[in-house]
């Protein structure tokens, strides 16, 4: 499942515009499927500055730990507190209630370097071959 | 890599397969946590065909097992199962295993997959003049495990009403889907459960799949090694290679109950007596964390004053407790219930409390 209206990173995060300059970020359905049951998500503090590709936390499943990378640079303006008690939301609703952080964009031009849904789909199809 | 006789079935049912002990095994079908809950609340079925089976047959079978096993085989009646360790002279563990006594001169050992060849060779080396025949029959044998509170009702439907009276650590012959099987009240989950052995005669693949499918058809979901690991860890059941190995002795691992020092002699007895005399410097402790990060094998454990006191051997997230749990060898003085230690995870220390184990109540005798 790769929604058409989102942008994607090669490290399997999605980006969605939710305000003028604000982006919502989470991990893709493919990523949650690969990780399996997520039992813990560590997220940054609000107001933390992130550079593009910088790790902003980890998602941990029974099987493995995976770093989360910010697809864009900017300041964290919100984190999904619900994941503290219900990390499984990332598995169940990766594109909606399983969102992770909201970022106020520092360099809007970075968006054009992200993958389209089509390109991301190609990436994961190649990866699973 | 080796495959069980259900390999095709697993593939057809979207199992995710991983290497385990030289075998390609399902780690999960749907979700590790869903499969976990199926076993704790209803019933789940595991293919454990990777485990090894070794027969010990002969006039001196009992004496031979008394010599090679730490537990007391002489108290077993036919139809009983006994957990035991097999040790080296130096007291380290060769393997942990189940002994099934079929008759006075006929025993079946169920051993860990990765250790099967090692165990078999070790037993051959110890055979000497004992009048016994050893046979590794793992190749032809299939083994499943049906675990969970509904397991008894399901087994009664499949194998007949007499199975209802089978007590914990006992086994009986039976029939499932028209095939002869041996059914034992054993498991690795802490639930009421049964392990089903099919000796592969006739038609190993076809019959194995037929038996398996007949259990699945009772509405049982297939479960993988992922769920199995959480289930066993909540019970503090040791996993060879993680919690115990050739360098750990049974006493340190909290398995002293399966070592009968009053037996005349057995391999490792002198070393273990010495360990007992000297006292244990470290013990395997159960730890519960306040947080949900998983403390994984090898993570360092510290005392409150910052001293390194041990290492994690197994860790997971306990769905029942909604907290992370771990096992680790820590200095005996620290292995006291209520004591708070720190586990280092990705460079940060998180508190973990030493607790009595099992982590949650056992239902094996229900």
CB contact under 8 A, B316 and A37: no
Domain B53-136: which topology?
Alpha-Beta Plaits (3.30.70)
Region A27-47: mean pLDDT is 96
State how far residue A13 is from chain B, nearest Cα, in angstroms.
Answer: 21
Q: How far, in whole angstroms, is CA A3 from its chain's centroid? A: 13
| Residue A129 placed within a domain | no
CA A54 – CA A70 distance, rounded (Å): 6
All CATH 3.30.1360.120 domain ranges in chain B, comma separated = 7-49+139-233
| Residue A128 placed within a domain | no
- Kindly give the confidence (pLDDT) of every residue in chain B, 366 residues in length, as a single tens digit, with 9 standing for 90 and above: 999 999 999 999 999 999 999 999 999 999 999 999 999 999 999 999 999 999 999 999 999 999 999 999 999 999 999 999 999 999 999 999 999 999 999 999 999 999 999 999 999 999 999 999 999 999 999 999 999 999 999 999 999 999 999 999 999 999 999 999 999 999 999 999 999 999 988 788 999 999 999 999 999 999 999 999 999 999 999 999 999 999 999 999 999 999 999 999 999 999 999 999 999 999 999 999 988 999 999 999 999 999 999 999 999 999 999 999 999 999 999 999 999 999 999 999 999 999 999 999 999 999
State how far residue A24 is from chain B, nearest Cα, in angstroms.
Answer: 24
Beta-carbon contacts of B203 under 8 Å, excluding residues fewer than 6 positions away, are none
A1 and chain B in contact, CB less than 8 A: no
CB contact under 8 A, B294 and A39: yes
B30 and chain A in contact, CB less than 8 A: no
| Residue A70 placed within a domain | yes
Residues of chain A contacting B224 with CB distance shorter than 8 Å: none
| Residue A121 placed within a domain | no
CB contact under 8 A, B293 and A91: no
Instruction: Give the range of the structural domain holding residue A34, as residue numbers without chain letter.
Output: 7-108
Count structural domains, chain A. 1
| Residue A116 placed within a domain | no
Give the model's pLDDT for residue A126.
86
State whether ipTM is beyond 0.95: no
CB contact under 8 A, A40 and B346: no
Give the model's pLDDT for residue A1.
87
Residue B333 has phi, psi (to 5 degrees) of -65, -25
Q: What is the CATH number of domain B281-356?
A: 2.40.30.110
A92 and chain B in contact, CB less than 8 A: no
| Residue A78 placed within a domain | yes
Query: pLDDT grade, residue A128 (50/70/90)?
Result: low
All CATH 2.40.30.110 domain ranges in chain B, comma separated = 281-356
Strand order in the sheet with B142-147: B171-176, B179-184, B193-198, B142-147, B44-47, B221-223
Report how many Cβ contacts below 8 Å link chain A to chain B.
40
Q: What is the CATH number of domain B7-49+139-233?
A: 3.30.1360.120
A28 and chain B in contact, CB less than 8 A: no
Give the model's pLDDT for residue A129.
45
């Amino acid at each position: 499942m790769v929604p058409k209206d989102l942008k994607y990173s090669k490290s399997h995060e999605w980006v969605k515009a939710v305000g003028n300059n604000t982006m919502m970020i989470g991990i893709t359905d493919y990523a949650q499927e690969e990780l399996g049951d997520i039992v813990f998500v560590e997220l940054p503090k609000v107001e933390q500055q992130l550079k593009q590709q910088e790790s902003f936390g980890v998602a941990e499943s029974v099987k493995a730990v995976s770093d989360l990378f910010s697809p864009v640079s900017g300041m964290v303006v919100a984190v999904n507190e619900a994941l503290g008690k219900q990390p499984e939301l990332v598995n169940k609703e990766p594109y909606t209630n399983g969102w992770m952080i909201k970022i106020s964009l520092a360099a809007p031009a970075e968006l054009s370097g992200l993958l389209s849904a089509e390109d991301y789909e190609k990436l994961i199809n190649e990866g699973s071959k | 890599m080796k495959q069980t006789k259900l390999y095709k079935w697993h593939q057809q049912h979207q199992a995710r397969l991983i290497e385990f002990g030289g075998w390609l095994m399902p780690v999960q079908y749907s979700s590790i946590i869903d499969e976990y809950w199926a076993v704790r609340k209803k019933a789940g079925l595991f293919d454990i065909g990777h485990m090894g089976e070794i027969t010990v047959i002969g006039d001196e079978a009992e004496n031979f097992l008394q010599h090679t096993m730490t537990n007391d085989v002489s108290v077993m009646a036919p139809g009983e199962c006994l957990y035991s360790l097999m040790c080296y002279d130096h007291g380290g563990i060769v393997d942990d295993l189940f002994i099934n006594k079929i008759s006075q001169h006929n025993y079946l050992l169920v051993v860990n997959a990765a250790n099967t060849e090692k165990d078999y060779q070790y037993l051959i080396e110890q055979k000497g003049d004992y009048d016994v025949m050893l046979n590794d029959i793992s190749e032809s044998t299939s083994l499943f495990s049906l675990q969970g509170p509904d397991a008894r009702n399901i087994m009664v439907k499949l194998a007949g009403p007499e199975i209802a009276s089978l007590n914990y650590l006992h086994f009986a012959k039976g029939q499932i889907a028209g095939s002869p099987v041996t059914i034992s009240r054993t498991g690795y989950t802490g639930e009421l459960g049964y392990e089903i052995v099919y000796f592969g005669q006739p038609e190993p693949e076809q019959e194995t799949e037929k038996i398996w499918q007949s259990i699945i058809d009772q509405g049982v979901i297939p479960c993988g090694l992922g769920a199995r690991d959480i289930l066993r860890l909540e019970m503090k059941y040791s996993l060879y290679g993680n919690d115990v190995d050739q360098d750990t002795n049974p006493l340190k691992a909290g398995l002293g109950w399966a070592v009968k020092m009053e037996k005349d002699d057995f391999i490792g007895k002198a070393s273990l007596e010495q360990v007992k005399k000297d006292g244990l410097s470290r013990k395997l402790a159960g730890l519960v964390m306040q947080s949900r990060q998983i403390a994984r094998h090898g993570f360092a454990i510290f005392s409150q004053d910052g001293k390194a006191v041990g290492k994690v051997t197994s860790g997971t997230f306990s769905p029942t407790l909604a907290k992370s749990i771990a096992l680790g060898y820590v200095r005996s003085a620290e292995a006291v219930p209520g004591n708070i230690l720190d586990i280092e995870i990705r460079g940060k220390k998180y508190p973990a409390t030493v607790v009595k184990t099992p982590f949650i109540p056992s239902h094996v005798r229900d």
